[in-house]
Amino acid sequence: MKYLKFLLLGTVFGFILIKAEVVSWFRIQEMFRFQSFHMYGVICSAIAVGMLSVFLIKKFKVKSFSGEEIKIEDKKFNKGNVIGGLIFGLGWAMTGACPGPLYALIGSGLPIVIVILLSAVLGTYCYGCLREKLPH
């Protein structure tokens, strides 16, 4: 039952993703064409709230509900951030979805998105197999 809280939080997140319309291929096109503020507003306000939360958690050394010290690992830079980032960007504009929205769209009743998700799994699998040969 320790997983129930993650299931519930995920459910809330999926609901928000649909209501925010950030799962919409049309919205993503609109964003990349700079034709609406909507997506920028969503992403920037999400970052602002996240940033403030992390700042407060660190400043007041807030502990997790189970009393643990909260630790966030640093992201180390590697060339993958650039090359992989560009590849993901291409896919984001093609499918109109990043991983979170893929799950939400499948739930919302679009079985074709299962094909996109399976391709994404295959992509991750191929990355894992080729990893040692790729520049990092």
x/- letters, 6..45, toward other proteins (CB under 8 A): xxxxxxxxxxxxxxxxxxxxxxxxxxxx-xxxxxxxxxxx
Between residue 73 and residue 112, which ones bind other proteins under the rule CB under 8 A? 73-78, 80-100, 102-112
125 is a contact residue toward other proteins (CB under 8 A): yes
Query: Residue 97 corresponds to which amino acid?
Result: A
64 is a contact residue toward other proteins (CB under 8 A): yes
1 is a contact residue toward other proteins (CB under 8 A): no
Query: Among 3, 59, 61, 133, which residue interacts with other proteins (rule: CB under 8 A)?
Result: 3
- Rounded CA-CA distance 46/41 in Å is 8
Task: Tell me which long-range contacts 74-82 makes (C-beta under 8 A, separation of at least 24).
Answer: 78/136, 79/135, 79/136, 80/134, 80/135, 80/136
Query: Among 59, 61, 71, 133, which residue interacts with other proteins (rule: CB under 8 A)?
Result: 71
- Rounded CA-CA distance 17/42 in Å is 10
118 is a contact residue toward other proteins (CB under 8 A): yes
133 is a contact residue toward other proteins (CB under 8 A): no
59 is a contact residue toward other proteins (CB under 8 A): no
Interior angle at CA 107, CA 99 and CA 42, nearest 5: 50
